[in-house]
Each structure stands twice: as C-alpha cells, then as structure tokens.
Amino acid sequence: MYICFSIQSNRMKSKIEIQPIEKSKINSVDFDNLPFGSVYSDHMLECDYINGEWKTPVIKPYSPISLDPAAKIFHYGQSIFEGMKAYKDTHGNSLLFRPLENWKRLNKSAERLVIPHIPEEIFMDGLKKLLEIDTNWIPTNEGSSLYIRPFMFASGIGFHASPADAYKFIICTAPSGAYFGGEVKVLIEEKYARAANGGVGFAKAGGNYAAQFYPTQLAIEKGYNQVIWTDDNSHEYIEEAGAMNIFVRINDTLITSPTNDRILDGITRKSIIQIAKDMNIDVEIRKISVSEVIAAAQNGSLKEMFGAGTAAVISPISGFGYQETEYDIPALKTPFAEILKKTITDIQTNKAKDPYGWRVMV
C-alpha cells in the first residue's frame, strides 16, 4: 500500500443529517456482472438551496424526488453534473481521484448556468460521509468502481425564462463496470456540433449531452459507437469523442486538442498529459485537423486514437469513418493507451505510488 493524500483545509466541517435505510439492497446486486451506472447504492445526498442559502444536506435512502411541474429544470434546462469514481484498495481503504477538481469544475459549470456555487464543505464532506455509509457498495473487482454522480438543477418554479430561485444538489452513486462493452469505432462528424464558441460546451451541462444524442444515434445506426466532434465552424478540427476527450498518436507523438469554449477540461485528460510527459512521451497540445488524421491513417503513421474520461477511463478506438470511408487503426502490441491506462488506474486504486498527490483517502 502506498500513501494517500488527505485534503488539508481550514474550512468548517459541514453539518449533515443522516436518515439511514432500514434494509440494505446490496445482496440483490451481482458485483461480478456490473453494468455501467444503472444499479444504485442504498443512500443519496440531497441538499436544497432556498431563500439564498444552502440548507443542511441530508443523506437518505435512495429514492425518487418530487418536483413541481413548473420547476425550471424542465423548461429551461438549468442542470449541471459531475462524474467521479471511488475505488477500494486491497486494504479496504476507499479512495477518490482528484475530487477537488470535480468540485471546482462543478462551480465553473454553475457560474455559466447561473446556478449558485456549492460550498466545498457540502460537496466534500457530504461525499465522504456518503461513501463512508455506503462503503460496501464500492466494488473491489478489477475494472469496476463506484461511479459517483453529483448534480445540481433548478427546482425553483416559474415559466418566466430567467434563473430559478431554488436549486437542488444531489449525489447518487452506482457500482459500475466498464462504460464500453467492446471495441470503439467512431464517426468523424461533418455536419452537427455539440458546442459553439461562446456557448456552454466547456461546462458539464445536461443540455450538452441532449444535443449529442441525435447525431450519435445516426452514427450508431451506421455501426459506430460514438461521434468524434469537430469544431462547429469548419468541422476541420477534431475536438472530443462523445463523453471523452480525444488523443491521437502519430508516430510516437501523442496529440490532444487544447481546451476551449467548446471542450470539457477533462480531469483524465490533464492527468494523462502529465503522466505521459513524465514517461518521456512526446506530447503536443495543439489543434488536430481531420486531414492530418486521414493522411496519417493512409501513410501508416496513425498508430493510435483513444478517448479519455472518468466513465470510459481510456478507451482505444479501433477505427473511424469519415465521408463514407472506413479507416482501421491496427492494434499495436503495447500501445500507449494500455500503458497510460494501467498507470492511471494503478494510481487510482493504490497499486502504485502517487507522485502527484491525486489520490485522496475517504
């Protein structure tokens, strides 16, 4: 076991009300065959923002919530979320990965959607308490983890198209297996865009994902798993792959697009960049044109493409489509994707030293 960092802070601890479940449903869960994100743990955290302040968070049995039909979430889509994971090491410790980055990004998203900031103590203390209570829900099987979904939305009512006056912050958790079942094939998008300059692409706003569903459905009908989003203006530069940031390896250089208004500043992405640089892999953060990727695929210098994100971890892409043509990316013996995935998951699960201080013990 290696050392885990705990978050040092002078802040006050949050008061949390706890309403435990009467009977756990954990025995009904097959931890050897976990789907992604569709089995939920016993408890959830719920906190209301009313009259200009966050009330005491409550940890209670996982259950449906009741909302007024005029709640602005339904009409104007004021809704943001985060995606995180908790892991168990072989000593039974519960671990988080860079959780303050998620808290900061949630508040960045909140600002853009005019949702009030969530204080660090509610987010962090609430999350840790929830994980303590549902500690048995953190899977121990290789490749499984507890997927954590913190989210905030407008519960305040009114048909006036303006920000709501009340919000809910909720954290639910789901013991989960892999996000993708098999190989990932992607279609490079030529027409639709998930985000535009000046828009909300950099935020983790629910609406960004709703906007992706239709073009993704068209891609799935053609036999792909995901869309590679290109810039909204020219569709000449590749930006993201569905719910992942994208990396391209040309010869031995790993290239990823710089983040901008349209791209989520992924925590996996920035961790991978750091790890790769420290392994002396040549990393370039620059625009990648579709024509460069096609040329590389044609002349054999396109060695790898992979998506990176919390849910998907690192997902190698086996081929892509563009303008009705299919391009294969032949598998390598020891791809960067495999080395980087092992390195990051070993850090996350306490199988390796964490020189960065990313791992946080619950």
Distances (CA, A) of 247 to 68, 175, 207, 231, 280: 43, 27, 24, 16, 16
**Closest distance between ligand PLP and the C-beta of residue 227, in Å?**
11
**Closest distance between ligand PLP and the C-beta of residue 130, in Å?**
19
Q: Do residues 296 and 281 touch, judged by C-beta distance below 8 A?
A: no
**What is the secondary structure of 67-101 as a DSSP string?**
--TTBHHHHH--EEE--EEEEE-TTS-EEEESHHH
Q: Do residues 259 and 325 touch, judged by C-beta distance below 8 A?
A: no
How many residues touch ligand PLP (CB under 6 A)?
12
- Which one of ligand COI, ligand PLP, none is in contact with 267 (Cβ closer than 5 to 8 A by kind)? ligand PLP
Q: Quick check: 150 binds ligand COI (CB under 6 A)?
A: no
**Of all residues in this chain, which one has the CB nearest to ligand COI in the complex?**
83
Listed residue (76, 19, 360, 65) closest to 206, CA to CA: 76
Give the whole-angstrom CA distance, residue 263 versus residue 350: 30
**Closest distance between ligand PLP and the C-beta of residue 261, in Å?**
13
Binding characters for ligand COI, 192-211, by CB under 6 A (x = yes)? -----------------x--
Binding part of the chain for ligand COI, among 26-34, 70-78, 252-260, 307-315 by CB under 6 A, reads 307-315
Nearer to ligand PLP, 150 or 266 (CB): 266
Q: Quick check: 85 binds ligand PLP (CB under 6 A)?
A: no
Q: Quick check: 83 binds ligand PLP (CB under 6 A)?
A: yes
Q: Quick check: 272 binds ligand PLP (CB under 6 A)?
A: no
Give the whole-angstrom CA distance, residue 281 versus residue 252: 7
SS3 at position 229: strand
Q: Quick check: 245 binds ligand PLP (CB under 6 A)?
A: yes
Q: Quick check: 243 binds ligand COI (CB under 6 A)?
A: yes
Q: Which of 155, 256, 259, 310 binds ligand PLP (CB under 6 A)?
A: 310
Tokens coding 191: 């027409």
